[in-house]
Amino acid sequence: MKDWRAIAKAHGLDLSARDLDRIAPPLEALEEAFRPLVGDLTPGDEPAVEFSVEEDAFSAEEDAQ
């Protein structure tokens, strides 16, 4: 189990004990569901969101017109 209080502190977030108690259970549940999925990834699996130079270049061309 992750120490969410320590993680919040490391992030520089000043969350009250009450707020931390409120967010720790859903984060823990998400962590449990998410961590095993990461093991299925291979280096060739690229993210769904990436920077597109081509698109930006096209917009610049349009701006110039």
Partner 1 sequence: MNIRQAAESLRARRVSSVELTTAALARIDRQNAALKAFITVTPEQAIQQARQADSDLARGQDRGPLHGIPVAVKDLFMTRGVRTTAGSKIYENFVPDVNAAVVDKLLSAGAVMLGKLNMHEMAYGITSSNPHFGAVANPWSAAHIPGGSSGGSGAAVAVGMVYAAMGSDTGGSIRIPASFCGVVGLKPTYGRVSRYGALPLGYSLDHMGPLTRTVRDAAVVLNAIAGYDRRDATSSRRPLVDFIPGDGVSIRGLRIGVPKNFFFERLDPDVESSVRGALARAESLGATVKPVTVPDIAALNTVARLVLLAEASAVAEPFLDRRDQFGADVLALFDQGRLIPATDYVNAQRLRRKMRHEFNRLWTDVDCLITPTTPNTAPRIGAATVHLAGRDEDVRLATTRLVRGVNALGLPAISMPCGMSGGLSGGPSTALNEPSLPIGLQIIGPAFEEALILRVAAALEDSGVGILPGTVLIDS
Length of the chain: 65
Would you count residue 7 as binding partner 1 (CB under 8 A)? yes
Task: Give CA–CA dist 4/8, Å, rounded.
Answer: 6
In this structure, what token pair is assigned to residue 6?
Answer: 């320590």
Figure out which of the listed residues 1, 62, 64, 65 binds partner 1, where binding follows CB under 8 A.
62
Q: Is 53 in the site for partner 1 (CB under 8 A)?
A: no
CB of 54 to partner 1, least distance (A): 11
Question: Residues 24 to 43: which contact partner 1 by CB under 8 A?
Answer: 26-27, 30, 33-34, 37-38, 40-41
How far out from the chain centre does Cα 2 lie? 16
